[in-house]
Each structure stands twice: as structure tokens, then as C-alpha cells.
Chain A
Amino acid sequence: MRIRYWFTIILACAILLMAAPLAGQPALAAAAEETGEETAAETTGEAAEEKTTTSSTPTDPTAALTQVPEEIKEGEGVPVREKQFVYGLSPWSGTEYSGTFAPRQAKTIYLMGNVTNIVNSLRSEIYYWPITQEYMADWFGYKEDVPGRLEVFKEGSNEPTVFEKTPYCYSYPNGWDAGVVLVTGEAAYAEFDKFNAAYDAFYDASSKYYDEHARWQKILDGMLQRVRETGQYYKEEEIPKPPVQPTAPKIYVTEPVNAFLVKLEPGNYRIRVVGEDGNVVPDSEKKLVVFDARRTGVGYEIIPESTWTRPFNSDDRTQVLYAEGRRTFYTKPYMESEYNLFNYSRMISLHKPLEGLGTKSAWLWIHEKEITDAKLELLKDGEVIEVIERKPFYVEQTAGYGLGYRIVDFDPEKPEFQGREPSFVAYKVVVEPKAGEYMIRLVDENGEVIPGSERELRAVGTTRWPLYTIPVLPLLVGLGIFMWRRSLAGSGEEEA
């Protein structure tokens, strides 16, 4: 009876547990519960009918990530818009400045600790777009800066840390895809001026080049005319050299804008914006979770020569690199950190209320900064057998209709590589691990081993039949014991 009673209770609990979420408001209700956010329905219900004012186009490139597309703003699927206070967020993600924002419905903001994150107080028109399940802002249509100061209260403290708006810009010294530098304060304007000056100089040089090229072309046309008329050719040294076309500067700098540059220790905080009139800006009070990495280390991106388009990662030093026979691989080492997946997902996608839900106990390795100034050592039985330098490589498609490629050293001086970029820059390892213990590791400029960079290399035996004969051992032992016991019993009976 008791079992039946308990079974009924457990069954009822299970049904309630499964049915409860499905009975009410769909996805967002649960999401709101999880993240402490309001539902989209509230947004649509309170939508303001204010007249939209157009502001200047945002210069922050991360705003484009959350900008509502034009096609969404027209047609039958027009979402209801609401003007509201939002925190524009450009959190440092370990590799770049990401772009998201905290609408009124997001009650908690997530940021990384001990790094500078960009937080801005803005007003914009916010949409909830159910198809992609995310909030979007019409930054290009309406964006208003909300002046004031940011007050940050550590949990349990009433003494705020105050942040004033400071000018900042993103500088990409080696181009868009080669790393960003945050420049703050007056230096941001200087950096922007430097960028403008570089492009002005480039345009001047280009203009001069086109003039010189036109003059050179004219001279060349005259010489050709003379050759046609006289039939006499010029000597090579008599032909004028063409002018050299100037190369565009790689640097790109965004226009400086003002925002709060927030750098905090890990912990739980409350934040709010206090306006110029001394009052707290409505809807600006939120929780702030500042988190840190659980652990750090050295991660490798490993590019096998046989499958160079399918690289894999080795993020943990406990991972052993197993190889079958002689293998060539290329590796790119990174400084890496491991973050809580929920915190990290919420940080970079706060405008997506469902992002990261159910991942509080999961962890994620992020490759943060490529290690470029180290040497890779290959060791056998603890002895260094090869020191490998970082080099550029080029992937060459083999001639003909068949698929295939070769990975060759990239030498910019060789004519076949003129005007080309290397496919990747990495450490090339050629190894055939046999008897003995093999290992790779990184050493810095001082010859010191970079902690966490060690990876063991092993060759694997691929003979399979012993795998299925070894397990029979216990059965043989058991049969042995069984026979022995039977023989003892037999001899006992005989003696009796």
C-alpha cells in the first residue's frame, strides 16, 4: 500500500513538473523566471506611440549587431515598438568587444571582471522579434544619449563607485580582422585624428599617383608613337619606371563617443544611472554580475595536414595527442580561459532572453590571445629533439580536376607568392611517435616553459583482436576456481 502511495505522489509531482511550464505563457515566461526578466508581452502592451526622432548614425560598430533589419520594420510582421531606456553594452568577450544591450526587460547584466567593458545609457526604440526570439533596437532610426553618471554598488554596500562618461574609440591597427585596441580619454581623439591623417595622406598620395601615372602614360604613349613612326626601339633603361601605387593604411579607427568604461572586480553589484538633475533615471536600476574565469591555460588549435579545413582544439593539458603512424600537423597556441557558459552567453547576448538558459552548470573554453612570440619544443623522453619556429604557410590547390592540396612554406619574396597572403601562420610539427615519451611545449623569449602548454604525444596500436580476448581473463579465473572447488568436493565425497 505504501509503495502505491509513494508512487502516486511521485507520479503527480512529475506530471505537475512537466505540465506547469506548458500550461502558461510560452517560452518567455520561463525565460523571465530564469533570468529575472519581464516578458515580451509586457513590452507590446505598453508600447509608446511617441513620434520617432532621427538621430545621427551610430559610429559604434557593435551597434550593427543589434540593429533591427529594414525588412522587419515593414509589412504585416511589423512588431510593436517601445521607446525605452536601455544600457548599450560592448562587453569584452576575451577576443573582441561584443555588442548587445539591456532592454528594460533584462534585470541582470553580465560582465567579465578586471577588464574594461563599455556601458552606455541610451534611449531607443525597442522591438521584440519573435521569429529570432530577440529584442532589437532601431539605433539608426532613433538613438538618444542619456546624460548622467553610473553608480555601482557592491552587494551589501551603500557606497557607490561612480563612473563618468569618457570618450573612447576602437582602433584596429592591423585591419578589421587583426585585433582591436580600446583607446580612451583624449587619446581617443588623437587616435582618430591619426587615422584621418593617415587616410588624408593616402588620398593625397593616391591623387599624386594618378597624376604621375597619367604623365607616365603620356610619355609612354609618345614613345610608342615614335617607335611606330621610326621603327627604332628604345633601350630598357630609357623607358621611364611607372609610379608606385600607394597602399591604403591598414589602420581603422571608429569615431570617438562617450560611454561609461566599467572595470570591476568579480562579484555581485547593483547599478543605476543618476541624471544631471540628480534623480535616478527610470528603469536604469539593474543587477550586475561580474564574473571571472574558472581557470586559465594554453589551448592549441591543431590543423592536421590531411584535413586542414577541419582543425580541432586541445584545450586541456590532460588531453593527449594520439597519432597513427607518421603525422604532420600545424598548431596555433592561444592563451585561454574557461568561463561559466550561462554567464558568458548572457554577457554577449543579453538582448536574446532565451540565450544560455539551462547552462548554469556548463563551462566553456575561450581562446583569447594567440601566442606569437614563443617557440615550440618537441621532446622525446624529456630531451628537446627539435625547436620549431612560427612560420607562414600557404595552401596550394593541386593542378587538374581532382581534389587535392599541398601546404607549402610561404615566402613573400618568391614570385609565385607575389600579391598573396599566407593561408595561416603556425608551428609545423612532423612526428612519428614510436617507443619513448613524446611531448610538445612552448617556451617564451627567456627560454621559460609557458605553464599549461605541455601536451603528450603518443602513437596508437591499432590491432583489435587483443581488445576482445583480454576481457575473457576473469572468466578463465572463475572457471579455474569453479573446477578447483568441484575437485575438492569430489575428493571429499570419495574420502567419505
Chain B
Amino acid sequence: MSYSYRTNASKVIAFRELFSTLYGLGLYVVLTAVFLISSYTVHGSVFQLEQNGLLALPSPLTSPFFLTVGLVAIYLGLCSAISISRERDQGTLEVLFYGPVDSFSYILGKYGQQMLTFFVVLVFSVINFWLVSLVTNFGFSGNFFSLMVLSIFLASCMVSFGIFLSTLTKRTNISLILFIALMILLVIFPFARQSVLSIPGKSLTTVMIYIRIVLDNLNILMQWISPVAYFERGLVAVGLHDTVQYIISIAASTIYTAVILGISMKVFENKGVKR
């Protein structure tokens, strides 16, 4: 199939599913829920400030923003994880592939749809945080734009990771459980590591020292596997005002996406479209 046919097929799939998402209520309900959660964390900062009167905060809106895009990226990853396996499970995938659609255009279409959805989410997020900033006077840090750009690549990694999982399994339930389990591991891991790190040396028991060492070594592995780790690398670069590292982080996320999507296409081809 020629390249132009493939891209056209991808476009059709992406936009058809995008509009389907936008015309439904699901995305808006999720966005409202996520914004409420992030507002709760902003509320926490306001409360803390009320108690202390004066505080030095790096950027009180960055963490809620990170939380918002992180949760939405996970949601989109989850949608990706179940989308292919669901269509295969229901038998609609086989029907689709009788038309001018191949694994490349299908996977790319799925990826494109989720990324376009993320752009819509980003617009809502910026409006939401701008209004929150007006109400609280919490400032957007100078690097907010850089973080926003970075979040696109976080979503890209997350969506491709979800698609990859979706191509691995034939059952929707298994995709769902696998994705949730891995996300819990990947998201909780940095927090668990940080909590263990924050224990002062004198209070460490032998078991805690081993946990620290195991987590430190696992962290090296996580740096390559976890989509969140790519985002964290970018966050550090933004914090250090290190443009080179920032670009490297974006490039790494792009390569991660390309590699994962490439593997997904290969796995998808091998598994076939039948139930």
C-alpha cells in the first residue's frame, strides 16, 4: 500500500475517533474529575500558606499541572490499551482490515487520535490553570511553557505504551488489568523511592537499607522503561535551565514513542486481526 493511502487511512481513523470522543461525555467527566483533584492540591498549598503566613514555593501550579497531564495521559494510555484489544475482541477489527487499512495506518491512526485528544485536553488545562492562577495569584513559573511542551511528549510515550500493551493481548480485560498494574508500579515507584530516600541515615534499619539499594538499582532500569521517567528527565532539565538536556529528553521521548509504535506494529502484524 502506498504511503499516501496509508497516511490518509490514518487521518480518517484518527479524526473519526477524535470526533467520537469529543461528542461523548466521557472525556469531559474525566477532565472535571481530574481538575477537581488538582484543585484539591492547590487548596492544600493555600491552606499551608494560611497556616504559615509566608512560604517559599518553587511553583505551586506546576505539581497540580503535572498531576493533571499525568492523569489524563494515563487515561489516554488506558483508552489506547483497551481500544485495539476491544476491537479485536468484538470482531470489528477483522471487518476494518478488509478495507484499505494495514497495521501501520491503523496503529498510527490510533496514536494520532489519542494525541489530538490530548491537545484538546491541553487547551482545557491551560484555561483551567489560568483561571486558578487568577483566583489564587499563584504564578506560572517561567518554565511553564517548557513543561507544557514536555507534557505532549509524556502523553506520546504513555499512549504508545498503551497501544503496545493493547497489541500484546487479545482480551480487553487483560489489557486493562496489565495497563493499570504497570501504571501503578511506574507511578508509585518514584514516590516510594523518594519516601525511602527521605528517611535520615541514622533511622535506617537494615531492611530499609536493602530496600533503598534495590530501589536505587531498579530506578536505573525504570529510567529506560517508564514513560514517566522520560518526563522526569525533562523536568530536571527545565529546573536546571539546561536546554541541551531538555532537547535530549524530548528526542529520547520521540525515539521511545517511535520504537514502541514500531514494535507494536510488528506485534500487531504477527498476532493478526482475528479474534
Task: Report the separation of the CA atoms of residues A302 and B55 in the bound assembly, to the nearest whole angstrom.
Answer: 9
Query: A302-B54, A318-B58 given as contacts; is B43 within 8 A of A358 (CB)?
Result: no
Residues of A within 8 A of B135 (CB): 461, 463, 466-467, 470
Q: Judging by beta carbons under 8 Å apart, are A324 and B50 in contact? A: yes
Contact of B196 among A358, A455, A481 (CB under 8 A): A358
22 A-B pairs (CB sep. < 8 Å):
A17-B218, A300-B56, A316-B58, A322-B56, A358-B196, A358-B209, A359-B212, A359-B216, A361-B219, A458-B137, A458-B139, A460-B46, A462-B46, A463-B135, A464-B43, A467-B135, A470-B131, A473-B128, A474-B124, A478-B28, A478-B29, A482-B24
Residue B99 at the chain A interface, CB threshold 8 Å: no
Tell me whether B240 is interfacial, beta carbon within 8 Å.
yes
- Majority SS at the chain B contact face: helix
Given contacts A324-B49, A355-B201, contact A468 B57 (CB under 8 A): no
Q: Which of B209-252 contact A (CB under 8 A)?
A: 209-210, 212-216, 218-219, 239-240
> Hey, which chain B residues are within 8 Å of A26, CB to CB?
206
Please give 4 more A-B residue pairs, beta carbons under 8 A apart, in addition to A21-B214, A27-B210, A467-B42: A323-B54, A324-B53, A358-B196, A464-B43
- 8 Å CB contact of B36 from A345, A462, A468: A468
Any chain A CB within 8 A of the CB of B35? yes
Cα A316 to Cα B136 in complex, Å, equals 22
Contact B214 A320 (CB under 8 A): no
B 15-44 contacts with A by CB, 8 A: 22-25, 27-29, 31-32, 35-36, 38-39, 42-43
* Interface residue from A306, A329, A359, A471 paired with B35 (Cβ < 8 Å): A471
A15 at the interface (CB under 8 A from B): no
Listed from nearest, the 6 A-B pairs whose CB atoms lie closest are A478-B28, A358-B212, A471-B35, A314-B56, A474-B31, A21-B210
Q: Does B174 contact A (CB under 8 A)?
A: yes
A462 to B196 alpha-carbon distance, docked (Å):
33
Cα(A362)–Cα(B22), bound, Å: 42
How near does chain A come to B191, taking the closest CB pair, in angstroms?
A: 14
Contact B28 A475 (CB under 8 A): yes
* Given known A-B contacts A26-B206, A34-B213, A471-B128, A322 and B28 have beta carbons under 8 A apart: no
B255: chain A residues at CB < 8 Å are none
CB of B57 within 8 A of CB of A354, answer: no
Task: Identify which of residues 139-184 in chain A touch chain B, using a CB-to-CB cut-off of 8 Å.
Answer: none
B53 touches A17 (CB 8 A): no
Cross-chain contact A321 with B43 (CB below 8 angstroms)? no
Is the CB–CB distance between A30 and B210 below 8 Å? yes
Q: B127 at interface (Cβ–Cβ under 8 A)?
A: yes
Query: Considering the chains assembled together, what is the distance between the CA atoms of A329 and B55 in angstroms?
Result: 11
Q: Is A319 an interface residue (CB 8 A)?
A: yes
Say whether B2 faces chain A, with CB atoms less than 8 Å apart: no
Q: Are B201 and A352 in contact (CB under 8 A)?
A: yes
Structural contact, A478 and B25, CB atoms closer than 8 A:
yes
Q: Is the CB of A477 within 8 A of B209?
A: no
A356 contacts across to B, CB distance below 8 A? 201
Asked whether A460 lies within 8 Å of B240 as measured between CB atoms, the reply is no
Q: Is the CB of A194 closer than 8 A to any CB of chain B?
A: no
A307 at the interface (CB under 8 A from B): yes
Q: Which residues of chain A from 299 to 336 have a CB within 8 Å of any chain B CB?
A: 300, 302, 304, 306-307, 312-314, 316, 318-325, 327, 329
* Nearest CB of A to B157, in Å: 20
In the complex formed, the residue of A with least CB distance to B39 is A467
Residues of A within 8 A of B131 (CB): 466, 470, 473
Q: A27 to B205: give the CA distance in the assembly, Å.
A: 9
- With A470-B131, A471-B35 as given contacts, are A320 and B56 in contact (CB-CB < 8 Å)? yes
Query: Closest CB-CB distance, B171 to chain A, in whole Å?
Result: 10
B16 to chain A, nearest CB (A): 15
In the complex, what residues of B have CB within 8 A of residue A312's CB?
A: 55-56
Pairwise interchain contact B213-A456, C-beta atoms closer than 8 A: no
Q: Which residue of A lies closest to B132 (CB)?
A: A470
Does A403 count as interface, using CB distance less than 8 angstroms? no
**Do A460 and B216 form a contact, CB below 8 Å, given A318-B59, A471-B128?**
no
Contact A475 B58, beta carbon cutoff 8 Å: no
- From A294, A361, A481, give the contact of B23 (CB < 8 A): A481
A34–B132 Cα gap in the complex (Å)? Answer: 46
Does A281 interact with chain B (Cβ within 8 Å)?
no
The interface bits of chain B over 143-155 (1 if a CB of A lies within 8 angstroms of the residue's CB, else 0) are: 1000000000000
Q: Known interface pairs A459-B137, A467-B42, A471-B36. Does A318 touch B31 (Cβ–Cβ under 8 Å)?
A: no
- Near A by CB (< 8 A), chain B positions 198-212 give 201, 204, 206-207, 209-210, 212
Of all chain A residues, the one with the shortest Cβ separation from B22 is: A481
Q: Which of B38, B209, B215 contacts A354 (CB 8 A)?
A: B209
Which B residue sits closest to A361, measured CB to CB?
Answer: B219
Shortest CB-to-CB span from B76 to chain A, Å, is 15
Given contacts A324-B53, A464-B46, contact A345 B201 (CB under 8 A): yes
Contact between B136 and A467, CB atoms less than 8 A apart: yes
**B38, B50, B201 — which one has the most chain A CB atoms within 10 A of its CB?**
B201
